Chains A and B, each alone.
Chain A
């Protein structure tokens, strides 16, 4: 059976890991390197770093953060925020990133997905999507870390990016981000029905009970967790232990 990956999500602004609710009212959670190390030693399967203001300022701040992290963290690292071209992606890969996450950059230049897939390989290309529920199973795609609407229908966008060579989808529900209200199951189900490539779900996770549900009901590939880890309401180690008690195996990598 497939092992769902439990991923720690670090949203970064400047020198800090931050967390808001629906991407607003950001609060400082701590130092990126300290938190990444903590989650690494708690048996995270991956770490996702997102520079939350990169697209706004037109640059990615994470090269130094990732370089530093690669001295002490030996699990896959996905890095995104402000990737606008091949050079940005390659610079991050050369600094220790294993996968690149792109969002705003590919909406601005739709030919970039194919170029990236050919250059760095689909296995290293994660498409990050921030979706906001509108109505009647219609989700709108947002860019600039949830600040700008695009008018694009999520389902159309998913099909497009998969066809262009995306390796993985990293989907965040804007409505649930930081709320700890529970994940958007309708969104999760919708994404899963549209694409075949692996999907990382994020936004609103309440804890291990919910993850167990999602694995059983939707056979999810991966979940990315921020709030409940940063606010110390749960640990990756405990989440994995509780999944195991419910006969759900995760990577044994502690």
Chain B
């Protein structure tokens, strides 16, 4: 059965490729930018490219911030990608202090730049299961059912998420010696820091598993 996937369309961010990836794995995609359409969806995707404050403002301008919270509270599957993941958190230090949607407890901080490491971090990297503190290898989340942890995924970002709750921190990725959260989950809400729509077959597989939730 084809799944109905809605992708939140605000002014910022390129969502064309996210839509194409979901179509490729056989779902019916619609782009939503109003509260009415948003609440009709089966799966809600929130992509994002750009700056935190602008992304948040675009949501507020479209009156979507409360709709997303309403959706999330109904425990329906939600996926934030890249900036869309970062906006799920309480706040970001990007360009001063900015408030996010606050659906997940924790912070969004700039990656620690150094001589060897460049920002934005544009790279293919793998996921490590769990948070740096608890790398338990049993009880893998359902979204990783078909994921090969040896595979690399595509990242483009300058900021990264650090969930407060260890249990929400589903996967870690390395930036040099530094660890950041690459997959977050709280109840029905997921966030991917990488771009599953640009990560080849491994990315498409993760999206397929998400649509089985």
Which of A11-19, A94-102, A147-155 lines the interface with chain B? A94-102
The reply to whether B204 and A45 form a contact with Cβ atoms under 8 Å apart is: no
A198 at the A/B interface (Cβ < 8 Å)? yes
A123 at the A/B interface (Cβ < 8 Å)? yes
Residues of A within 8 A of B150 (CB): 252
Interface string of A152-173 (1 = CB under 8 A from B): 0000000000000001000000
Residues of A within 8 A of B199 (CB): 74-75, 253
Question: Given A3-B123, A252-B152, A94–B198 Cβ distance below 8 Å?
Answer: no
Closest B residue to A93 by CB, please name it: B14
A247 at the A/B interface (Cβ < 8 Å)? no
The 9 closest A-B pairs by CB, nearest first: A251-B124, A253-B200, A251-B152, A123-B120, A252-B152, A70-B20, A76-B198, A93-B14, A96-B16
Please count how many residues in chain B sit with their CB below 8 Å of the partner chain's CB atoms: 29
A246 at the A/B interface (Cβ < 8 Å)? no
The reply to whether A96 and B200 form a contact with Cβ atoms under 8 Å apart is: no
The reply to whether B120 and A45 form a contact with Cβ atoms under 8 Å apart is: no
A197 at the A/B interface (Cβ < 8 Å)? yes
Binding site for B on A (CB under 8 A): 2-3, 5, 40, 43, 45, 70-72, 74-76, 93-96, 98, 121-124, 167, 196-198, 251-254
The reply to whether B200 and A121 form a contact with Cβ atoms under 8 Å apart is: no
Cα(A123)–Cα(B21), bound, Å:
21
At the interface, is chain B mostly helix, strand, loop or mixed?
Answer: mixed
16 A–B pairs (Cβ distance < 8 Å), ordered by A: A3-B123, A43-B200, A74-B17, A74-B198, A74-B201, A74-B203, A75-B198, A75-B199, A75-B200, A93-B14, A93-B16, A94-B14, A123-B120, A252-B124, A252-B152, A253-B199
The reply to whether A74 and B197 form a contact with Cβ atoms under 8 Å apart is: yes
B140 at the A/B interface (Cβ < 8 Å)? no
The reply to whether B20 and A45 form a contact with Cβ atoms under 8 Å apart is: no
The reply to whether B126 and A252 form a contact with Cβ atoms under 8 Å apart is: yes
B53 to chain A, nearest CB (A): 14
B118 at the A/B interface (Cβ < 8 Å)? yes
B112 at the A/B interface (Cβ < 8 Å)? no
The reply to whether B24 and A121 form a contact with Cβ atoms under 8 Å apart is: no
At the interface, is chain A mostly helix, strand, loop or mixed?
Answer: loop
Question: Given A75-B198, A198-B122, A96–B152 Cβ distance below 8 Å?
Answer: no
Cα(A61)–Cα(B50), bound, Å:
27
Closest A residue to B158 by CB, please name it: A123
Residues of B within 8 A of A2 (CB): 123
Question: Given A3-B124, A198-B118, A251-B152, A95–B20 Cβ distance below 8 Å?
Answer: no
The reply to whether B202 and A253 form a contact with Cβ atoms under 8 Å apart is: yes
Question: Given A3-B124, A74-B198, A76-B198, A253–B17 Cβ distance below 8 Å?
Answer: no
The reply to whether B200 and A74 form a contact with Cβ atoms under 8 Å apart is: yes
Beyond the given A5-B124, A76-B154, A252-B124, please list 6 additional residue pairs across the A-B interface where CB-CB is below 8 A.
A40-B200, A70-B17, A96-B16, A98-B17, A253-B200, A253-B202
Residues of A within 8 A of B202 (CB): 253
The reply to whether B24 and A253 form a contact with Cβ atoms under 8 Å apart is: no
B207 to chain A, nearest CB (A): 10
